[in-house]
A and B are shown apart, each in its own frame.
Chain A
Amino acid sequence: MMEERARQAEDGAGFIRIENVSKSFGSFKAVDEVSLSISKGELFALLGGSGCGKTTLLRMLAGFETPDAGRIFIDGQDMAGVAPYDRPVNMMFQSYALFPHMTVEGNIGYGLKYEAMSDAERKDRVREMLELVQLTPLAGRKPHQISGGQRQRVALARALARQPKLLLLDEPLGALDKKLREHTQFELMNIQYKTGVTFVVVTHDQEEAMTLANRIAVMDKGVVRQIGSPTEIYENPKSRFVADFIGSINRFAAAIVYVKDGIAVLDCAELGQPLQARAEDGFEPGMRVTAAVRPEKITISRERPEAGNVLSAVVHDLGYFGKDSLYRLQLPTGKMISASVVNTRRAGENERIAQWDDAVFLAFDPASVILLRD
């Protein structure tokens, strides 16, 4: 036991372990048999739609909810029966939950009030935190006298002041506007890097999760669907749910005809022609699968290109988003496909690759095709 703990502390793996944790409200399973292992110093994201149990899982880590089943370990210590005020965990609440009757300084220092430390140490720590989030000039203000972005930073500083082993952040950027969000994302990553505290961030914004986190757990209806790095989750989703949830994707129902040299040839009625896809181990001829391609992996051209998969299509619709354009294209079978094109050149309305109702060719590599079992 002692050895195990020492070993874990050394390489940091399994610093936080969630083992088969479940939680029901009445007959409703909010969190269902979740197991996660988070390393020390990691910035881990819990990603999922509204009501999928992210906050519930976070509240169990903080100690506000008791798991019905399963166990939670933080730095090797079993958290069962440990009250929130005794846990080496701090939380940044979605609504920030700043104390309205205390100043910025009072809020940040509150967590140190009952800590065994001298007044001088306490003062130093608060000053350090104020500097970390660049709020020193506002130390004497009350929460209602500062902006939303500043409040977010006070909440962060307050949660970090106790130097927790684990910091939980529930939708930390949820209340900020888009511009401020992007800026704050990097600030958050920077602070995480500086302090070295393990962060678990809850978000329903996939872009935010991808930007922030080293690793992401995608949740759906109380279940963790996939855990991996942003790249893994995006490029190698293991299920239709994850593929759909992260970014957008074109899907086709298909059946494997044969597999040769790691390339599967698929029969695909929706495309009206065979499809080539890179197949990992375990994909056998005869299997029914879903083939999926991301819009940005598809190129559009006027002349027939050389590629593993080439389709002809007609432009049905196009949308201009500044940095890229999204095309909706119709195949001869009637199936609609999305393709996005980065606008690398500065071009006028009439200089695009293709216009409405133009006939074009679509091409994508077999390696870009994701095969999903369900």
Chain B
Amino acid sequence: MMERALPPSRFGQWFNTSGWRTIIIAAPYLWLTAFFFLPFLIVLAISLASNAGTSPPFQFAAEAPYVHADNFRRLISDDLFFRAYIASILNAGLTTALCLLIGYPMALALTRFSRSVRNILLMLVILPFWTSFLLRIYAWIGLMGANSWFNKGLTALYNLITPDAYALRFIPMMNTSFAVVLVMVYCYLPFMILPLYANLEKLDMTLNEAAMDLGSRPFQVFKDVTLPLSVPGIIAGGLLVFIPASGELVIPSLVGNSSTPLIGRVISDQFSYARDWPMAAAVAIALLVLLVGPMMAYTHFESRAQRRPGDDA
């Protein structure tokens, strides 16, 4: 009787009593636990073990507390690691800054086109993803080679503006830090443009008009209105570029030089050549702490800053 009188809530009851709600909410957490948190714990555990000739090649200490921090001690004392971290973070920082410098005007320009043109241009931003990542890097290797039209064109341009005494036959681009940054900016640019575009597109154009009406010139409008309101987009795009860029392995090993190893390379070498899994794990954990620490601090302060004005309301 009652059930027939309340048909809509019947599903709701069944949904609640059968625990479906809990299951649906729990699913992403289970996923994160199984595929992020557990592996992270395993890596953490390995980083606290010793290298050994066994298979898998690590061993925990025989007596309590079974773990030790020797790998982390080595990490701090050996300045090879320190230099690799610095180089990686500088490299990722430079890549992020250049992506922002190039991506911001592009994202802003995208919002100024009509809807149909905009969709085509957005497609063009995403289009490179349809080609294999490796293939695109090999294409750059071809472009940067001494005999490519790209290198020849740049060389001609360079020779045009510099005195004859300094004339070059070609510009040595391959296996330089310049090549690494160039290819990384190229590969990561869409990750900067897309979140920025999503943010800028939502901004109300009448705010720009209001600022202009109140006496601001176009650049002042940008500085006072558009830029501050796009900070969330800048942060999102920045993290999306900076985090993977700091651990990047493939691009530096294909187009970079080996004199300044980046952290991705160090982890890979420790893991496969030195077969020192605990050391590789320690390097990875330290990188994670280095990246996640500032991020968590930022979100913490951000949410505090957003709460504060509301408190006195």
Contact = CB atoms under 8 A, between A and B. Distances in A.
Given A97-B210, A142-B309, A145-B310, A115 B215 contact: yes
A62 B209 CA distance: 10
Interface string A84-112: 11000111010101111100000000110
B207 interface: yes
Contacts of A98: 210
Nearest to B310: A145
A85 to B, nearest CB: 5
Contacts of B229: 100-101
Contact of B209 (A97, A100, A115): A97
B173 interface: no
B259 interface: no
B309 A99 contact: no
B313 A141 contact: yes
Contacts of B217: 85, 114
Interface string A117-151: 00000000000000000000000111001000000
Contacts of B211: 99, 110
Nearest to A86: B215
Main secondary structure of the interface of A (DSSP, over half): loop
A113 interface: yes
Given A97-B206, A97-B207, A101-B229, A145 B313 contact: yes
Contact of B214 (A83, A95, A101, A158): A158
Interface residues of B, number: 21
B213 interface: yes
A162 interface: yes
B209 A84 contact: yes
A64 interface: yes
Given A100-B229, A141-B313, A111 B215 contact: yes
B309 A84 contact: no
A84 B213 contact: yes
B216 interface: yes
A95 B310 CA distance: 23
Contacts of A83: 212
Contact of A162 (B210, B214, B309): B214
Nearest to B229: A101
A93 B212 contact: no
A62 B224 contact: no
Given A142-B309, A145-B310, A99 B225 contact: yes
A162 to B, nearest CB: 7
B258 interface: no
A341 B309 CA distance: 54
Interface string B205-241: 0110111111111001000110011000000000000
Scoring A85, A89, A101, A142 by chain B CB atoms within 10 A of each residue's CB, the highest score goes to A85
A136 to B, nearest CB: 15
Nearest to A84: B212
B3 interface: no
Contact of A93 (B209, B216, B224, B312): B209
Scoring B215, B224, B310 by chain A CB atoms within 10 A of each residue's CB, the highest score goes to B215
B209 A110 contact: no
B79 interface: no
Contact of B212 (A85, A141, A159, A162): A85
Interface of B: 204, 206-207, 209-217, 220, 224-225, 228-229, 309-310, 312-313
Interface of A: 62, 64, 83-85, 89-91, 93, 95, 97-101, 110-111, 113-115, 140-142, 145, 158-159, 162
Given A85-B215, A110-B214, 12 more contacts: A64-B213, A84-B209, A84-B213, A85-B213, A93-B210, A99-B210, A99-B211, A114-B215, A115-B215, A158-B214, A159-B213, A162-B214
14 contacts: A85-B215, A91-B213, A95-B206, A99-B211, A99-B224, A110-B211, A110-B224, A113-B220, A113-B224, A114-B215, A114-B217, A145-B309, A159-B213, A159-B214
